[in-house]
Structure 1
């Protein structure tokens, strides 16, 4: 049996099976061509979590889940949302009759898209959305001339768009959203192919990539029938091509968040059926676009561009289908016409940071749908015809009106925004029904396992997402009717609508089984396919969508690496070959399991073997506590000992027998920090030692507890200091010192630790302040070591905290040290603004960028800087500080500095501020309590920037 220890090539085994098939008579009842059965067998051998029904010698005859067969041939493979893991084999090319391949929403399915797919010349639909495929888009896809639907979005693809795609003249839908595709859009030139040849294509979804160069004018011409052109969140430069006005079929145009310049083409208003226009956050110049005649427009956003100063345009009150008008930061002047607010469908008017003056008159025929009028930072003096309506929010901060006696605080002192009523599908009252922890209460008043996910719309034609329940009811009806049409026993539940930072609309979707307590694998695949295949006809208010599905965890049965491919009709020789294959497979599986277990055991130091199933690391310098010891030192985990809490559990102050104060972090049941994170934090903290990193005293895994014991840091978190919660007041110099300390701690992790470490959760709540306000980086549960990767890049599941999360990491799932740099850049902005990164729908990075862009210098920071740093009226080095923070939060990691460079620049800024970066603490230590603040920036204070030496002077109002 020594040969069992040899690695065998899978291809050899398949060849053996193929030879057996060639020499045997196959049962007359076989419904699958032998070559296709073998190909499918090979494909599935590269998968884990293959469907449980995939057993037997005849895929079509044995009713394998997800297959559709005809005339002995496999025609469709539809397996979305089944949590399949592995790679897609090149043997896919042998399914020569395949017309539909959908493997979407299987996040564990990755590797490169096999080039051999190009041999499937009959393929009409290729749907690989929401997987983890990497590498480039194969140019061989251009051989699939029958293809009408190509969706490879939400993967990890890079490289450029193959110009061979231009050969797909029947293509209707082309989606590469949420990848890292770069380069320019290919155009034909008589010799080479290009996307301008896709005359039948109606959907070009290219958002959230790294496409660059100009948008070629040749891409658009009168022969095209485009419906959706979604090029948002890329790096396009140059002008908007005037040829866009030739494609009068377009109903949705998103060019927002690029680097487009020059004037908007004057023929844009040829797009008379355009429903959504987003060209915001570019560098467009020239006159404000004339939208006269674009009567189908419902959603318009042209904010944050460089248009010439203009008066209120006449088209403001002529577009009678408008629901949303966003024209922030555009230097628009004049008096708003009353008719703008009487448009029946109007829901939100946002005209912040303009030069609007006179009287804000809402008129006597105000739209009943209007919920928001945001005209902050203008020159409005008076108000008229303002109704007393609870659902109407008028915001006038920063106008002359608010400086006058008798001004209404209701309009001038806007409270923090909150979701007035987050929508949830109405459900019956099920009384005292209590479900097990792994099930949920269904609309049928029973406990069941729903199929869950996030329904993401790439645009939406209304604004009041929290109160306009009519649209959600219409969507629910559309979903329910679709489920009935396809005879799927599912009941949809919608909840928690919201707009994300990419201006995509998200709503949580739960689909409950209506007849049993769980869906079958076939039903999960069918339900998920409804969304990946864009079958559901949603109401007009909703744009193109996708379902970000959560893996369905409740399938029963075991997954075998090799299915039972033998039937009684096969002779003994074939059975013997199969037996050998089974033995070899079992041996290889056992070997892999042993190797994996051995590798896992090496990851956490030396392990004890005492006791039953003990799994405790013995790490140098760390003490192993019993649960009883920690219970005693925290006074039985008393409420009075609590220092803080989070998703993991609570942190308690403890006093050890030797008189040493410690912080005891105890994970609660169901904690977000699992066993892997617990062990990771023990290993990391035991390995690294630096004055700006929190020290691990010990840990406890006694009685199924997960407890970490740290050194006690008395002054709490940086976030608590900035919010005033801790009572610790930080002036400008102390904030610089805190920033430097944190930067040095992260520099140690990135460059000096062995192996190098990426923190992955840098945020103000994870930066603690000791007695002398020295910063100490904490919470290493999400850390990732960079072992032998010379590129310093790991492909890993995205983890971190929203608001601090690197968008490139979020998009590509490629983690580098620059991801920590991005998060630290957010912390730098948080330090000077005292604002949370994401608060009331506002992102501090965007606010700072817009403020500087608006004023072309630091004047725009007037309203953003925390008054608490204006202690002596001067902020030396502030310009270099802001420049550094914005470099750290560049969208692409290649444009960000290294953490050591960040630390060095903070040292330079401290020198400008008259500080010595190498002194741990100075006499200008922090004070405690608001009473100790000798000065607070007045709301009417202004800022003057005088250039070198990069200082900002606060000019107080007289």
Structure 2
């Protein structure tokens, strides 16, 4: 008999043993094993024992030997969901949320799960169309597919799911019309039991069908913001009197607002801003539960202040910027008992501003900038903005309200404090909980999509939310305490809070506990205080599971058979172990030799030059980096570019690193690999990204950098990172980057020219310290006595020095030019070349030094703020324009730049030698998609020299 026979028999007969003992059905076992083969990072219990139900595979729930629940949220699963899911024919709940490594389409076979009541796939990366077969899930109550990459149209077949309670398709790439019934086809209007239509942040187009709404519907949330919807708001909306939240903002809606809108007397949040609505301003009289109203930036008819301004007792926030309002503001408005924010800027309001004599202590902001107000009674102590009103044009007008201008909302910092105890000094990645116990918390973000308040400084609300969360999880014995931090508010008025949940009675969670917490938050079993509604939760990956030892529950006869089979395999295993040991010893000896000489396989004939010459960096093996990056999983993928992909990794010391893995056989990659390890191994400065090590093993070329948490400067300027950069932070970032370049140009021996300075190559750490990165195109000035290098033109369009481009003469001043473009980005938050317009030329043409802010108000990023907080801005503009002078001789050196930026910081009231405060104190961060890759291009012979001038 072949020696492999016992092992073969064991593997062959296990499914039959399971069947013989009346345990999990073969169909379910086969389906789960198929899923396991398609996924990585499944729980250790999967496959370690033969029976999912009897042996308790993590995430599997069973009834009568059939799998009815599959819940694996936040497990870092990677792979696809195949049609084999149909084999779990009794499945009632499928929850794979917050696994960003799950990609590909949702299979058509999902429609075969006739008993499915909850399909929860939020926060993954599924793509492609939503299959029409989903309409076959007649038992479905919860359908949460939000925050994926689904495309195509919304299947009309969803209208057949009559029991549906929650429909959440937000934050995808869905397009086309909203489907309604007709011509024999179903539509969303048939979902009479549904409470939630969450379809925001997609690409939906066309009009909102009148048929979509009817009086027999139970909707409480209609959330359609940030789509491409056009046409008018249908009057049928006014008959859905159960509605509580209505969001149609950031679309292209036009026409009159329905006159019956005020029939919606239960609505507390109404967002219609940033559309093209016309006709009279809507009449909201009688909407007495209304908390938050935003009608800004529409084309309403010029009209007097509506009477409902003074009657809505619940109102906390009134925003009607740029809506053609005129006349005097009634003083009774400011006496509303709950009012916190009034924004009526850019209208035609006139007369005397009378705040009244009532209690305005809760009123935090009155923004009436750019109106026609001529007088003010001066009785308000909060923030009042009256810039660009006649009252500020009078001689002697020196009040503070005429000097400051509204920038983005100032977000206060908020962090949970300890519960009357001393925080414990924790080791490794543990965190001290509010109860001062060291543990590994489960982390995520709470997103409140329509909070009913706007005063973010009131910490009482967040303390109430903390207590509410803590009491909820304690009641279920899931958590010891919770911590909230990183309060932010984005352009859609979404309020975000980072959430840490600490385990109850131990220092880490089990997989079952994490699944339960994610489910409670993801399916809205947990209910926050009412003024935080609606909300959703985005969980993170939890990597500190407490794995519970598996207890075998198999019957004795199975144990005997398995034991016999295993005994028959002992001799085979001994033989195999001896052979494996010999092979490993041989490989170890070879690996040691290769480790001592990592470039033993460097091929000088591949056009990459001689073997790299290094100073003091670590050589990692491929096996080590495979382990540190979790097998280069998609969950650890933080970006990609022409060079290859970048993965987040964790060294045994706990240090986070970024592993830049080149495409195999990439000649350009080999050049960059050699250049970067040689240069970065000999430069060390806090404003340059540090090289930790490299890998040249098994045909792989990888660079290992320090991990820079907050991504690229471009991400922050564009709003992708969630960081709001005020003027002072922009100055500190500019100074840091300038210091890094000055070090390269003047303190390195020989000097180094970066050659690809741009906003995507300036990274921001957790204190928003700027770090220059990507040295793949850099050049050393290693020829003594020369003031330039003659070389092929390389770099990125929009940042290229025109003189270098035309003459191929590279100097340090080429970096100065590119840095000047970055400075203009800091000022405008615009790309260097945008819609065919070159930022340098645009600023140069618009500048008028005889006017306030050099007449650049239309180009400047509003997030900077344009009042007293931007002292030194004109001088900063002057400096940037000196950097982008056509003639090299007229540009300053980087050391001169450092001194000048330091002077500007002094003017702004900053100490240039004090580090920025931690960004995590007041802002939520999201890692950049691509902070380490280099997408620069070799432009030699590609574009004519006139291309630069024409921009």
What band does the TM-score fall into relative to the shorter chain? 0.5 to 0.7
Q: TM-score if structure 1 supplies the norm length?
A: 0.65
Q: Which runs of 5+ in 2 are unaligned?
A: 618-650, 684-689, 695-702, 705-712, 718-726, 737-752, 765-770, 778-818, 863-883, 902-951
Query: What does 1:537-936 correspond to in 2, within 5 Å?
Result: 537-555=527-545, 568=558, 609=594, 611=596, 620=608, 624=612, 626-627=614-615, 674-676=658-660, 687=671, 698-700=679-681, 705=692, 762-763=759-760, 779-780=773-774, 835=827, 837=829, 869-871=847-849, 921=887
Q: Give a deviation string over 1:754-778, Cα, whole Å, max 9, x none.
A: xxxxx9x8459589xxxxxxxxx97
Question: Is it true that 1:427 corresponds to 2:427 in the alignment?
Answer: no
- Quick check: 1:623–1:698 contact (8 Å CA) kept in 2? no
**1:674, CA displacement in angstroms?**
2.0
- Quick check: 2:672–2:776 contact (8 Å CA) kept in 1? no
- Quick check: 1:141–1:165 contact (8 Å CA) kept in 2? yes
- Quick check: 1:616–1:701 contact (8 Å CA) kept in 2? no
CA distance in 2, matches of 1:782, 1:627: 17
Question: Is it true that 1:299 corresponds to 2:292 in the alignment?
Answer: yes
Match of 1:366 among 353, 356, 359: 359
**1:550, CA displacement in angstroms?**
1.8
- Quick check: 2:242–2:266 contact (8 Å CA) kept in 1? yes
**1:486, CA displacement in angstroms?**
2.3
Cα-Cα RMSD? 5.4
CA distance in 2, matches of 1:781, 1:408: 51
Q: Give a deviation string over 1:239-267, Cα, whole Å, max 9, x none.
A: 11111112111110111111111121111
Question: Is it true that 1:474 corresponds to 2:467 in the alignment?
Answer: no
**1:268, CA displacement in angstroms?**
1.2
Find the residue that maps to 1:329 and give its secondary structure. Answer: coil
Query: What does 1:225-374 correspond to in 2, within 5 Å?
Result: 225-374=218-367
**1:332, CA displacement in angstroms?**
1.2
Question: Is it true that 1:50 corresponds to 2:42 in the alignment?
Answer: yes
Query: What does 1:22-33 correspond to in 2, within 5 Å?
Result: 26=19, 28=21, 30-33=22-25
CA distance in 2, matches of 1:156, 1:345: 40
Q: Give a deviation string over 1:658-716, Cα, whole Å, max 9, x none.
A: xxxxxxxxx9x988762328999x99687479xxxx9997332899845999xxxxxxx
**1:143, CA displacement in angstroms?**
0.5
Find the residue that maps to 2:468 and give its secondary structure. Answer: helix
Q: Say if 1:289 and 1:42 are closer, same or farther in 2 by CA, change over 3 A.
A: same
- Quick check: 1:65–1:521 contact (8 Å CA) kept in 2? yes
**1:403, CA displacement in angstroms?**
2.5
Q: Look up the match of 1:498.
A: 488
Q: Look up the match of 2:648.
A: none
Q: Say if 1:548 and 1:572 are closer, same or farther in 2 by CA, change over 3 A.
A: closer
Q: Look up the match of 2:383.
A: 393
CA distance in 2, matches of 1:319, 1:877: 41
- Quick check: 1:125–1:147 contact (8 Å CA) kept in 2? yes
Q: Say if 1:407 and 1:191 are closer, same or farther in 2 by CA, change over 3 A.
A: same
CA distance in 2, matches of 1:877, 1:350: 25
CA distance in 2, matches of 1:488, 1:725: 42
Q: Which runs of 5+ in 1 are unaligned?
A: 5-12, 598-606, 630-666, 710-716, 729-744, 750-758, 768-776, 784-826, 838-843, 850-860, 887-916, 933-958
CA distance in 1, matches of 2:275, 2:2: 67
- Quick check: 1:57–1:566 contact (8 Å CA) kept in 2? no
- Quick check: 2:164–2:194 contact (8 Å CA) kept in 1? yes
Find the residue that maps to 2:79 and give its secondary structure. Answer: strand
**1:924, CA displacement in angstroms?**
7.5
Find the residue that maps to 1:182 and give its secondary structure. Answer: strand
- Quick check: 1:608–1:617 contact (8 Å CA) kept in 2? no
Question: Is it true that 1:524 corresponds to 2:514 in the alignment?
Answer: yes
CA distance in 2, matches of 1:168, 1:876: 60
Question: Is it true that 1:89 corresponds to 2:102 in the alignment?
Answer: no
Q: Look up the match of 2:942.
A: none
Q: Give a deviation string over 1:359-399, Cα, whole Å, max 9, x none.
A: 222111133321111111112222215244xxx21112222
Question: Is it true that 1:40 corresponds to 2:32 in the alignment?
Answer: yes
Q: Look up the match of 1:513.
A: 503
**Higher RCO (CA < 8 A, seq sep 6+):** 2
CA distance in 1, matches of 2:568, 2:322: 71
Q: Look up the match of 1:451.
A: 442
CA distance in 2, matches of 1:727, 1:436: 34
Q: Give a deviation string over 1:6-48, Cα, whole Å, max 9, x none.
A: xxxxxxx99x9998467657454x4422322222222222222
CA distance in 2, matches of 1:362, 1:865: 41
Question: Is it true that 1:134 corresponds to 2:127 in the alignment?
Answer: yes
Match of 1:384 among 362, 365, 377: 377
**1:779, CA displacement in angstroms?**
3.6
Question: Is it true that 1:375 corresponds to 2:360 in the alignment?
Answer: no
**1:499, CA displacement in angstroms?**
0.7
Find the residue that maps to 1:522 and give its secondary structure. Answer: helix
CA distance in 2, matches of 1:57, 1:518: 27
Find the residue that maps to 1:534 and give its secondary structure. Answer: coil
- Quick check: 1:56–1:566 contact (8 Å CA) kept in 2? no
Q: Say if 1:696 and 1:227 are closer, same or farther in 2 by CA, change over 3 A.
A: same
Q: Say if 1:57 and 1:314 are closer, same or farther in 2 by CA, change over 3 A.
A: same
Q: Give a deviation string over 1:64-94, Cα, whole Å, max 9, x none.
A: 2222222222222222112222222322212
**1:408, CA displacement in angstroms?**
4.3
Query: What does 1:65-84 correspond to in 2, within 5 Å?
Result: 65-84=58-77
**1:218, CA displacement in angstroms?**
1.1
Q: Look up the match of 2:907.
A: none
Q: TM-score if structure 2 supplies the norm length?
A: 0.65
Q: Say if 1:830 and 1:458 are closer, same or farther in 2 by CA, change over 3 A.
A: farther
CA distance in 1, matches of 2:125, 2:177: 23
- Quick check: 1:244–1:268 contact (8 Å CA) kept in 2? yes
CA distance in 2, matches of 1:411, 1:336: 17
CA distance in 2, matches of 1:154, 1:136: 14
Question: Is it true that 1:166 corresponds to 2:190 in the alignment?
Answer: no
**1:515, CA displacement in angstroms?**
1.2
CA distance in 2, matches of 1:328, 1:85: 46
Question: Is it true that 1:64 corresponds to 2:57 in the alignment?
Answer: yes
**1:480, CA displacement in angstroms?**
1.9
Q: Say if 1:472 and 1:866 are closer, same or farther in 2 by CA, change over 3 A.
A: farther
- Quick check: 1:272–1:296 contact (8 Å CA) kept in 2? yes
Q: Look up the match of 2:789.
A: none
Q: Which moved more, 1:226-235 or 1:72-81?
A: 72-81
- Quick check: 1:248–1:271 contact (8 Å CA) kept in 2? yes
Q: Look up the match of 2:742.
A: none
Q: Give a deviation string over 1:116-156, Cα, whole Å, max 9, x none.
A: 12111111111111111111111111001111110011111
**1:447, CA displacement in angstroms?**
1.5
Q: Give a deviation string over 1:704-763, Cα, whole Å, max 9, x none.
A: 845999xxxxxxx999999699899xxxxxxxxxxxxxxxx99x99xxxxxxxxx9x845
CA distance in 2, matches of 1:152, 1:303: 30
CA distance in 1, matches of 2:561, 2:545: 34
Find the residue that maps to 1:516 and give its secondary structure. Answer: coil
- Quick check: 2:477–2:504 contact (8 Å CA) kept in 1? no
Q: Say if 1:60 and 1:499 are closer, same or farther in 2 by CA, change over 3 A.
A: same
CA distance in 1, matches of 2:532, 2:555: 47
Find the residue that maps to 2:126 and give its secondary structure. Answer: strand
CA distance in 1, matches of 2:670, 2:602: 11
Q: Say if 1:508 and 1:73 are closer, same or farther in 2 by CA, change over 3 A.
A: same
Q: Say if 1:324 and 1:704 are closer, same or farther in 2 by CA, change over 3 A.
A: closer
Q: Give a deviation string over 1:175-223, Cα, whole Å, max 9, x none.
A: 1111111111112114111111111111010111111111111111112
CA distance in 2, matches of 1:222, 1:577: 71
